[in-house]
Amino acid sequence: MGKIRSREETGCLFFDFRVNGARCREQTTLKDTKANRRKMEKVLERIEREIVAGTFDYGTFFPGSGRASQFESRPSTPSVGVTPSVGSVDMAAAPVPPAVIERATPTFSEFTEVWLTENDAVWRRNTMISTKVHVNGYLLPRFADKQIHQILKADCLAFRADIAKTGGSMKKRTLSAKTVNEIMQILGAILAEGADRYEFPNPMQNVKRLKTQKVHIDPLSFDEVEKFIANVRPDYKPYFTVRFFTGLRTGEVHGLQWRYIDFERREILVRETYSHLGREYTKNDGSQREVRMSEPVYQALKAQYEASGTLSEYVFCTSVGTPIDPLNVNKRVWKPTLKLLGMKDRRFYQTRHTAATLWLASGEAPEWIARQMGHTSTEMLFKVYSRYVPNLTRQDGSAFERLLLQRMGGGVE
């Protein structure tokens, strides 16, 4: 027995019935009122009479439905013991439903608003903000008024081509493949959820990501680290000592508070991050960790406590006690110091990469290093950093070379 139901998200009615054992749900734009329910119940009665008679034509009733092709040239099977006849169906009335009964789904704008609201309690604030930037800047201008089931794969590919071309961004700057993939990932997530709820094929299902260039890390050598710390502004020596020898992320360093510094156990408790959006939970659960203080880090934090321990809850702060701005540090301290020392210009984040390569070079266990870095496994460690280990430890294949010479070449020259 079919039913007329109401979609909770939109308040619109939809048909819920079965054809040849398959459950079918077809949306409408009719609001849930008594009059509209009566109207749809009459149509549902006709549908069920034709299903019983074996004369039901899905495409006639729902011409815009993706289900129409599924039942094309497959008339509904008559119920057992029922013989189709003119008397069992109102053959005088042509089975043409009202126009409003054609497939109806929310517009992309309407559904995206629902989708964002549902994820608001799940996502981190930064994730929500960055998602809204892409939604408002790229997706809504392109798809806002289009019903979500009407967005085709060709539309998605054309959209990707437009934003990936030169000057295709909001500010007429060319977007990187990484950013294009981020935008397309959001589009895919919205359409996948819509396809699941409203039962239409997901147009993004087989759309592949753009290939991105591998980002090569460029850590400092130990000599460069020593030289940098010796010549950087005195008030930033503790800051860069902590960055170079703990591998903390930028947000983790800037969000570090004195209550998370355990001098007795010589541990830094990574619990929060800080950005221009404010204080927040770490990147993920795996980033919640305890980082061991080496002696230089311990001494640097002791010195920093003398400077700011009573001024602010934040370890590294401004003269008024607020967290320091990473963009300001990058522009006024990091880059000028590199330039002053004649070192290669590098991204600020290389301090984290430097810590990882120095730990590996010293022979620390990869599992321990991964925990210090906030990685859940050693996979990232070996994938990103292992190529730097041979140059730092001299474990570069020379041991195997000596073995071959001894066994096959008569000794080492």
**Residue of 94 and 215 predicted with greater confidence:** 215
| β-pair partners for 205 | none
Closest CA to 272 of 285, 255, 249, 286: 255
* pLDDT tens column, 338-371: 999 999 999 999 999 999 999 988 888 889 999 9
pLDDT at 314 over 90: yes
**What mean pLDDT comes out for the span 168-177?**
74
Summary mean pLDDT of the chain: 84
What percent of the chain has pLDDT above 90? Answer: 49
pLDDT value, residue 408? 73
* pLDDT tens column, 236-271: 999 999 999 999 999 999 999 999 999 999 999 999
pLDDT at 219 over 60: yes
pLDDT at 116 over 80: yes
pLDDT value, residue 93? 39
pLDDT value, residue 80? 45
Confidence of residue 171 (pLDDT cuts 50, 70, 90): low
pLDDT at 230 over 70: yes
**Residue of 307 and 393 predicted with greater confidence:** 307
pLDDT value, residue 398? 63
**What mean pLDDT comes out for the span 118-124?**
88
DSSP state of 292: E
DSSP state of 373: H
pLDDT value, residue 30? 85
Tell me how far apart the alpha carbons of residues 259 and 272 are, in angstroms, rounded to a whole number. Answer: 11
Interacting residues of 275 by C-beta distance below 8 A, sequence separation 6+: 126, 251, 254
Confidence of residue 400 (pLDDT cuts 50, 70, 90): low
pLDDT at 48 over 60: yes
**Residue that the structure tokens 């061991």 belong to:** 292
* pLDDT tens column, 21-46: 888 888 888 888 888 898 889 899 88
pLDDT value, residue 356? 92
Tell me how far apart the alpha carbons of residues 325 and 133 are, in angstroms, rounded to a whole number. Answer: 22
pLDDT value, residue 170? 62
Residue 75 sits at φ, ψ, to 5 deg, of -60, 150
Closest CA to 291 of 356, 233, 335, 350: 356
Q: Where are the alpha helices (DSSP H) in 165-266?
A: 177-198, 222-231, 237-246, 250-254
Tell me how far apart the alpha carbons of residues 13 and 2 are, in angstroms, rounded to a whole number. Answer: 13
pLDDT value, residue 346? 93
Confidence of residue 390 (pLDDT cuts 50, 70, 90): low
**Residue of 205 and 104 predicted with greater confidence:** 205
**What mean pLDDT comes out for the span 207-222?**
88
pLDDT value, residue 10? 78
Q: Which domains does the chain have, with CATH numbers?
A: 3-101 (no CATH), 108-198 (1.10.150), 222-393 (1.10.443.10)
Confidence of residue 391 (pLDDT cuts 50, 70, 90): low
pLDDT value, residue 19? 87
Interacting residues of 325 by C-beta distance below 8 A, sequence separation 6+: 276
pLDDT value, residue 223? 94
Q: Could you tell me the CA-to-CA distances from 218 to 23, 132, 153, 159, 392 in Å, in that order?
A: 57, 32, 40, 35, 14
* pLDDT tens column, 61-115: 887 777 777 776 555 555 444 444 333 333 333 444 444 445 578 999 999 999 9
